[in-house]
Amino acid sequence: MDTDARALLARAELILGPDEVNAAVLRVCTAVTGALATRRPLVLAVMRGSVVFAGQLLPLLQFPLDFDYVDATRYGPGTQGGALNWRVDVPASARGRTILLVDDILDEGHTLAAIRNRLLAAGAGAVLIAVFADKRLNRVKPIEADFVGTTVPDRYVFGFGMDVRGLWRNLPAVYALAPEDDN
């Protein structure tokens, strides 16, 4: 298993090195601080992918905030999205609050759109979205992020919280899966 995972990484293409990743986090921090420093937002991390991004972003935000999480995903062991699976629903504390929804990537946008709609239906006052990366797709997405650290090509990317088949979330850089591994 470890040999297969290491071979997958060896075939992958480096998209963003650690310095570029850190610069992207700082860009989001600056923009979020400018928009939310006078409010006390409820920051909701979208598990599991956002854990690395949120873990680096939160200590940089120098204003009071509350923190919680949601867990909804369209991805299982493969590299293609499917039906939305809610593991942890939106918290009741979202009612009347300004929410900062933090996620690793805005891919097709279906998951973030569903979470945003669920938060608004639960009575959230406003929902702003911060993503580490926005994938450049040649089609319209159902949602846009308010704060974006960087953009990535329309390929399967992993690292810095984003996984490939459950692996490599822990990388400090972002890689694109080799075409022969994208199945």
Q: How far apart are CA 109 and CA 35, in angstroms?
A: 22
Which residue is catalytic, options 104, 107, 134, 163?
A: 107
107 is catalytic: yes
Angle at 126 between CA 117 and CA 160, to 5 degrees: 75
Residues 140/156, Cβ–Cβ less than 8 Å: no
Backbone dihedral region of 112: left (phi > 0), alpha (psi from -120 to 50 degrees) or beta?
Answer: alpha
Element (H, E) at 86: strand 85-88
Positions marked catalytic: 107
